[in-house]
Amino acid sequence: MSAEVKLDTGMFTVSASPHIRCDESISKIMWTVNTALAPAALFSIYQFGIGAFSTLALCIAVCVLTEYLIQKWQEKPITINDGSAFLTGLLLGMNIPPDVPWYMPIFGSVVAIGIAKHTMGGLGFNIFNPALIGRASLVASWPVLMTTWPKMDMPGKVDALTTATPLGILKMEGYAKLVEVFGDQATMYKAMFLGTHGGSMGETSAVLLILGGFYLIYRGYVNWQIPVVMISTVAVLTWIFGGLYNVSGSTGLLTGDPILSILSGGLILGAFFMATDMVTIPITVKGQIIFAAGAGALTVLIRLQGGYPEGVCYAILLMNSVTPLIDRAIKPVRFGKTV
């Protein structure tokens, strides 16, 4: 490599870039993120039973297989061991209900890897988060199946009947009806925090997702500003404008329920594990803060004013599309150049 060519000036030894080296690698980072997601994924399997296991396993297997086949066809190095395709499958599986028909995970996985990732050039070149593109394609193709979940008598035992997600109930029937479903407000908060309610697998245990996110922050793979700013933006804007999130049904300002807005839907999963995707977010911390604030604001806008009850997926994808513009506007001044 050119980095091995050195110039000895007598006082200093100068080598060609790159000058910063560490023991991190793509494989190490990806498998660490997979490890951080594992507790929430395992809890989903415990909570929803064999259906959740089948959905997660199918998403992961098809993502890995699709990556292998595309790289084999293009005669490129096979990189399925680096954990990136595995992570896409795991994230996609956690973004869909646990009991969807088998063909849906296959379709979403092929779209995520084959279209969102490899048509852009593969890992490091994709504009949009592949797992979210896979989820968006499933919502567009099977909207009813993607917004219903099985009733549960107890963890691991699901009822044959289906009902709307908590955000769906909130959107269609109001806050009072949602509280009634859980029994009372405190029980609702507890169920959403611990994960003892239905929904997509990544909408369940907030506490395990938060712990996994904190682990990634501790390891330095995630800047804490992104999840904090995104979650705070959703909470504050919901409190200001979210009359829909009020048990009294009031539509006035400063009446929304910020706690419900944080715990419901895929906000925590999105804020910690998808809005922090190193490939699709701005490169500077200032840019990432703008990205996170924009994603939070769009999430609230879609939830409150859109026809679809959840907005995290589309909010992050929309902000992915403006990442190059943010980078261009927030790029640092070169050393020695005057502003």
Report the pLDDT value the prediction gives residue 2, as an integer from 0 to 100. Answer: 44
What lies within 8 Å, CB to CB, of 142 at 6+ separation is 100, 104
The Cα 200–Cα 94 span in angstroms is: 6
Report the pLDDT value the prediction gives residue 1, as an integer from 0 to 100. Answer: 43
Is a pLDDT exceeding 80 seen at residue 250?
Answer: no
Is a pLDDT exceeding 70 seen at residue 339?
Answer: no
Report the pLDDT value the prediction gives residue 177, as an integer from 0 to 100. Answer: 84
- Domain locations in the chain? 26-145, 170-327
pTM for the full predicted model: 0.87
Report the range of poorest mean pLDDT among 39-48, 207-216, 223-232, 267-276.
Answer: 39-48
Structure tokens given for 20: 């910063």
Percent of the chain with pLDDT over 90: 55
Report the pLDDT value the prediction gives residue 136, as an integer from 0 to 100. Answer: 95
What lies within 8 Å, CB to CB, of 316 at 6+ separation is 129, 132, 270, 274, 275, 295
Is a pLDDT exceeding 60 seen at residue 10?
Answer: no
- Dihedral sign from CA coordinates of 85, 88, 89, 91: positive
Highest mean pLDDT among 44-53, 119-128, 133-142, 157-166: 133-142
168 against 315, higher pLDDT:
315
What does DSSP say about strands 157-164 and 148-154: parallel, antiparallel, or unpaired?
Answer: antiparallel
Is a pLDDT exceeding 50 seen at residue 157?
Answer: no
pLDDT tens figures, 112-148:
999 999 999 888 899 999 999 999 999 999 988 887 7
- Binned at pLDDT 50, 70 and 90, residue 310 comes out as confident
Percent of the chain with pLDDT over 70: 82
Mean pLDDT of all residues in 61-85: 95
Is a pLDDT exceeding 70 seen at residue 165?
Answer: yes
Report the range of poorest mean pLDDT among 115-119, 171-175, 231-235, 300-304.
Answer: 171-175
Report the pLDDT value the prediction gives residue 148, as an integer from 0 to 100. Answer: 74
Mean pLDDT of all residues in 78-93: 95
The DSSP output letter for 156 is T
Mean pLDDT score of the chain: 85
- The runs of H, that is alpha helices, within 148-205 are 166-173, 175-182, 185-194
Mean pLDDT of all residues in 97-124: 93
Q: What is the DSSP string of 265-282?
A: TTHHHIIIIITT-TTTS-
- Find out whether 240 and 254 touch, Cβ atoms under 8 Å: yes
